Amino acid sequence: MQIKYYSIPAEIKKLGMTQTEFAGLLGIAPATLNHRIKKDSPTLHWCVYGISCYLGKDRSYDEL
């Protein structure tokens, strides 16, 4: 299995969500999400990956 992954903001956009919507899904404030993105938290990477798998979004980056 190969995982294509550019960045957290790109993955959120690929899900068709805004960062504010994504933060709400995680139950955190948008400012907290931005802080975690800048911190490059491994936990956030797993959250993004898990949510994208759960939602079943399979769009290519060319569609962005």
Mean pLDDT computed over 46-50: 86
Of residues 47 and 59, more confidently modeled: 47
Query: What per-residue confidence (pLDDT) applies to 1?
Result: 41
pTM for the structure as a whole: 0.73
* DSSP states of 1-61: -------HHHHHHHTT--HHHHHHHHTS-HHHHHHHHHHT-HHHHHHHHHHHHHHT----G
In a domain, 45, yes or no: yes
For residue 27, give its domain range.
Answer: 8-56
Q: Dump pLDDT digits (tens) for 8-46.
A: 888 888 888 999 999 999 999 999 999 998 888 788 888
In a domain, 28, yes or no: yes
Whether residue 61 is predicted with pLDDT greater than 50 in this model: the reply is: no
In a domain, 2, yes or no: no
